[in-house]
Amino acid sequence: MTSGSIYVGCQGWRYADWRAVAPCPDATPFYRANTPATHELACYSRTFDLVEVDSTFYAVPQARTLEGWAAQTPQDFRFTLKLPRALTHEARLRRGRGTLLEFCKRSELLGPKLAAILIQLPPSFGTDELPALERFLPHLPAGLPFAVEFRDPGWLNWRTLELLCRHQVALTLGETPWIDTATSLPWLEHLPVDWVYVRIMGAKQGGLERFTHLQVNRDRELSEWAAALKQLALEGRNACVLLDNHFQGFSPGSASLLKRKLGQPIHPFPRDSIHSGGQLGLDLDVVPSREDATM
């Protein structure tokens, strides 16, 4: 059996706190302080091979924007795009076919770099709205990788899996404020398709205020996910794993820790060198950047 692929990255690549912050002596910068904002994606892509794009949740991206993202990143880099909230939160999947088709057509400009389109549903989207989902899924263009994120755990049932399987849509699992690791992990054995979208998040409310360095020890959850993802890959299935700043305070650090637990190469941050810092410093063996390794 061919081993599956596990792509690991962050939920976004542009955060001011990822640079050196003078009032925070424990900061573990990801970017150099003088890195132009227009160069951040290219720099990010030398360290990680996957990123989740949040801006597409707010509007259909311009063609030139997607073409620019593709041009700035290595051939093996992958993007996940959020479906616009006009469809998921405002129309609640009940209208907007034109917007859906326009978004999908634009997404195709990424070519093989498109890893997934995330259909992120609001927490209030309960199982009583199953008819809306049933009517929506047949309109998804064939050949594009869709995943749906439910934020009501009531959706994790056999009827949902059968529906997703019928339309070849992946399930989103993870460690989130709505569905936690303990609830998610058993469903990895019952995926509707041969890949899964994993979102590892933290508390959005009353949690961390700055995202400068690792501040919370979530080693247990990372180890649980690493073990489960290794087994998934052994079974020939694939995963897109995206980590959020709120999980430990610094998603590049969390993503690197998870890659280490998966036995994957860890590439340096775009800053000059990696050093230990903060309450939970990064003390990782690193290999040359993906760009340098292919020169």
Dist CA 106 CA 113 (whole Å): 13
Q: For residue 84, is it within any domain?
A: yes
**225 has pLDDT over 80:** yes
- Residue 81: its pLDDT value, please? 98
**206 has pLDDT over 80:** no
**21 has pLDDT over 90:** no
**75 has pLDDT over 80:** yes
Q: For residue 138, is it within any domain?
A: yes
- Tell me the percentage of the chain whose pLDDT exceeds 90: 83
Average pLDDT, the chain: 91
Burial class (CB in 10 A: 0-12, 13-18, 19+), 89: middle
Q: For residue 1, is it within any domain?
A: no
Q: For residue 40, is it within any domain?
A: yes
Tell me the residue ranges of DSSP E strands in the chain: 6-11, 50-53, 78-82, 114-120, 146-149, 170-175, 195-200, 238-243
Q: For residue 89, is it within any domain?
A: yes
Q: For residue 214, is it within any domain?
A: yes
**25 has pLDDT over 80:** no
**22 has pLDDT over 70:** no
**173 has pLDDT over 50:** yes
Q: For residue 232, is it within any domain?
A: yes
Residue-wise pLDDT tens digits, 80-101: 999 999 999 999 999 999 999 9
What would the two tokens of residue 40 be? 């951040």
- Residue 284: its pLDDT value, please? 55
- Residue 204: its pLDDT value, please? 81
Contacts of 102 (CB under 8 A, 6+ apart): 60
- Tell me the percentage of the chain whose pLDDT exceeds 70: 90
Mean pLDDT (whole number) for 231-235: 97
Domain that holds residue 115: 6-293
- Residue 291: its pLDDT value, please? 45
Residue-wise pLDDT tens digits, 185-205: 999 999 999 999 999 998 887
Q: For residue 65, is it within any domain?
A: yes
Q: Confidence band (pLDDT; 50, 70, 90) for 163?
A: very high
Residue-wise pLDDT tens digits, 244-289: 999 999 999 999 999 999 999 999 999 854 433 334 445 455 555 5
Q: Confidence band (pLDDT; 50, 70, 90) for 3?
A: confident
Mean pLDDT (whole number) for 232-255: 97
Q: Confidence band (pLDDT; 50, 70, 90) for 223?
A: very high
Element (H, E) at 96: none
User: Residue 255: what residue type?
Assistant: A
Strand duo 238-243 + 78-82: pairing: unpaired
Q: What is the 3-state secondary structure (H, E, C) of 99-168?
A: HHHHHHHHHHHHHHHEEEEEEECCCCCCHHHHHHHHHHHHHCCCCCCEEEECCCHHHCCHHHHHHHHHHC
Degrees to nearest 5, angle at CA 156 with 99 and 140: 25
- Residue 110: its pLDDT value, please? 98
CATH of the domain at 149: 3.20.20.410
- Residue 207: its pLDDT value, please? 78
| Total domains in the fold of the chain | 1
